[in-house]
């Protein structure tokens, strides 16, 4: 069941997601060779405290960190570590908070130092796929319109869309209905309505879309070891079009 949000609920989601966007921006500025993902995790906690929000991921189903940091062939849910980042890595930062009971959730992928042309293109296409999906997040459209738009952009570039993980509705819970695959068929799925808030989050692989979960129970990696990128925005469907709640101001 999809929960529609009232204007005052959307206002809280605007705040929670706005804070996520600000914190991701600060984290991105700190990313460079030599920095560890554990330092970024600690910084995300410090910044959350300053903004008087609660990091949403820590403790969620037993996840032990505030931030997910997925490097290179890690797709999502990578765990912060003491291994320093090196030039040429790509790093996905996925972060969420709770503000007055409402969740914010967004993700970006950023280069560390100088990265390959392929890595740059993978990141760019993944973000473009996200924006193509958002463009279809219109009242009256179908969920499949969003999914198909993401898939089209990704596959036209020769990359692949991860199947095993999807986006989600967001509100008083981090994960609400509907599930939002990044692949699908135009015209299919539920009809989108004003008041829906969707976390759209394409995970895009350089090679095969197949992934596996490491024995730590969290880290998702590409089966072929090639690169993966991830971008996520939480988007409110308004009468006059999509509003990106987690847009960086």
Of 42-50, 61-69, 132-140, 237-245, the window that binds ligand MF3 (rule: CB under 6 A) is: 61-69
Query: Can residue 199 be called a binding residue for Co ion (CB under 5 A)?
Result: yes
143-156 vs 117-135: helix crossing angle, rounded to 10: 160
**Which position among 23, 27, 47, 68 is part of the footprint of ligand MF3 (CB under 6 A)?**
68
CA distance 180 to 191: 13
Q: Least separation, in Å, of the C-beta of 117 and ligand MF3?
A: 28
Of 13-21, 56-64, 82-90, 141-149, the window that binds ligand MF3 (rule: CB under 6 A) is: 56-64
Burial class (CB in 10 A: 0-12, 13-18, 19+), 221: buried
Q: Using an 8 Å Cβ cutoff, are 130 and 150 in contact?
A: yes
Name which of ligand MF3, Co ion, none residue 176 binds, using a CB cut-off of 5 to 8 Å depending on partner kind. none
Name which of ligand MF3, Co ion, none residue 63 binds, using a CB cut-off of 5 to 8 Å depending on partner kind. ligand MF3
Backbone angles phi, psi at 108, to 5 degrees: -135, 160
Name which of Co ion, ligand MF3, none residue 132 binds, using a CB cut-off of 5 to 8 Å depending on partner kind. none
Bridge partners of 213?
220
**Which position among 9, 74, 89, 105 is part of the footprint of Co ion (CB under 5 A)?**
105
Q: Using an 8 Å Cβ cutoff, are 164 and 196 in contact?
A: no
List the Cα angle 139/184/149 in 5-degree steps.
60
Nearest to 105 by CA among 20, 175, 8, 24: 20
Q: Binders of ligand MF3 among 176-215, rule CB under 6 A?
A: 199
Q: Least separation, in Å, of the C-beta of 103 and Co ion?
A: 9
Q: Using an 8 Å Cβ cutoff, are 42 and 20 in contact?
A: no
Query: Can residue 61 be called a binding residue for ligand MF3 (CB under 6 A)?
Result: yes
Query: Can residue 176 be called a binding residue for Co ion (CB under 5 A)?
Result: no
Of 68-76, 103-111, 154-162, 222-230, the window that binds Co ion (rule: CB under 5 A) is: 103-111
Closest CB to ligand MF3 among 57 and 183?
Answer: 57
DSSP 8-class letter at 78: P
Nearest to 192 by CA among 130, 129, 140, 148: 140
Instruction: Using CB under 6 A, list all residues that contact ligand MF3.
Output: 57, 60-61, 63, 68, 77, 94, 96, 105, 107, 199, 232
Residues in contact with Co ion by CB under 5 A are 105, 199, 201
């Amino acid at each position: 069941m999809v929960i529609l949000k009232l204007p005052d609920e959307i206002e809280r989601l605007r705040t929670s997601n706005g804070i996520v966007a600000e914190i991701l921006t600060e984290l991105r500025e700190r990313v460079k060779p030599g920095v560890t993902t554990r330092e970024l995790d600690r910084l995300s906690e410090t910044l959350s405290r300053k903004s008087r929000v609660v990091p949403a991921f820590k403790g969620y189903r037993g996840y032990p960190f505030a931030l997910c940091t997925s490097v290179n062939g890690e797709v999502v849910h990578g765990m912060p570590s003491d291994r320093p980042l090196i030039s040429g890595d790509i790093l996905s930062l996925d972060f969420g908070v709770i503000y007055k009971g409402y969740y914010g959730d967004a993700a970006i992928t950023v280069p560390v130092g100088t990265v390959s042309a392929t890595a740059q293109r993978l990141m760019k296409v993944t973000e473009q796929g996200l924006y193509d999906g958002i463009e279809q997040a219109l009242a009256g459209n179908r969920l499949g319109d969003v999914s198909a738009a993401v898939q089209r952009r990704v596959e036209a570039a020769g990359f692949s869309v991860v199947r095993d993980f999807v986006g989600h509705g967001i509100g008083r819970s981090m994960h609400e209905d509907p599930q939002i695959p990044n692949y699908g068929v135009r015209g299919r799925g539920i009809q989108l309505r004003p008041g829906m808030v969707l976390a759209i989050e394409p995970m895009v692989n350089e090679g095969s879309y197949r992934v596996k979960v490491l024995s730590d129970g969290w880290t998702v990696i590409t089966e072929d070891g090639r690169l993966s990128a991830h971008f996520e925005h939480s988007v409110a469907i308004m009468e006059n079009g999509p509003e990106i709640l987690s847009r960086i101001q």
